[in-house]
Structure 1
Amino acid sequence: MFDPVCPSDLSPIRVGDKWAGMIIRCLEQGPRRFSELRAPLRGITAKVLTQSLRGLERNGLVVRTVHAGPPRRVEYGLTPLGRSLLEPMAALCAWTEEHWDELLDARETAI
């Protein structure tokens, strides 16, 4: 999914916007800072990451935690609702992998 040659948008089913599913997967192992999310999400701009995180937060999938004290730190983590998406997303990734060639053929035919 995070491989630069992987067309993650190949999956016909999305959770939220283009980046939401990948952000959720990035947070699977625990909370991360904004800069820690940008590294695996090559190609995402700071503006788009901010918009996606706000949307995920608004939908109850991600929680933003501000840690006081110098330096101030902000982390993003999955809520229980967000964690409940991990299993269905894993199934979707497995389905996409199983039907990869068919999806690529369909895309190429449609062009």
Structure 2
Amino acid sequence: MLQATVLAALGKIPEVCLVTAAYIETADEPGLLAQLASGRALQAKRPRSSDASYHIRSATTFLRRLSDMKLLRDRAQAADRSGIAALLHQWEQDRVQRLGVEHLWEPTPFPLEREL
């Protein structure tokens, strides 16, 4: 995922298409969905189960990454440079908020945006 993000920020759109396609192809989405369902079922039986919490958290994290890669792939395939930049800025802002450093953050343009 990091490789695809860096390539996108640099504006290397054909490479982004290749890397995201490989990521999506190797992802086990049905397995992740099954893991999520299993975790939720276990949590329904045992609400304080650490195994259930782990499976839910893990599956949710990887499903979100997969979703992000699909978004990036779709924008790269459409050669939507401004859409890619907006997506990268959103991810950057989300990370800044999670870290609690909004007061220190100032978005900077990605090399991709020089060509817009």
State the structure with more CA Rg.
Answer: 2
Between Structure 1 and Structure 2, which shows a larger proportion of helix residues?
Answer: 2
Q: TM-score range by the shorter chain?
A: under 0.3
Larger RCO (alpha carbons 8 Å, 6+ apart): 2
Between Structure 1 and Structure 2, which shows a larger proportion of strand residues?
Answer: 1
Question: TM-score scaled to structure 1, two decimals?
Answer: 0.28
Question: TM-score scaled to structure 2, two decimals?
Answer: 0.27
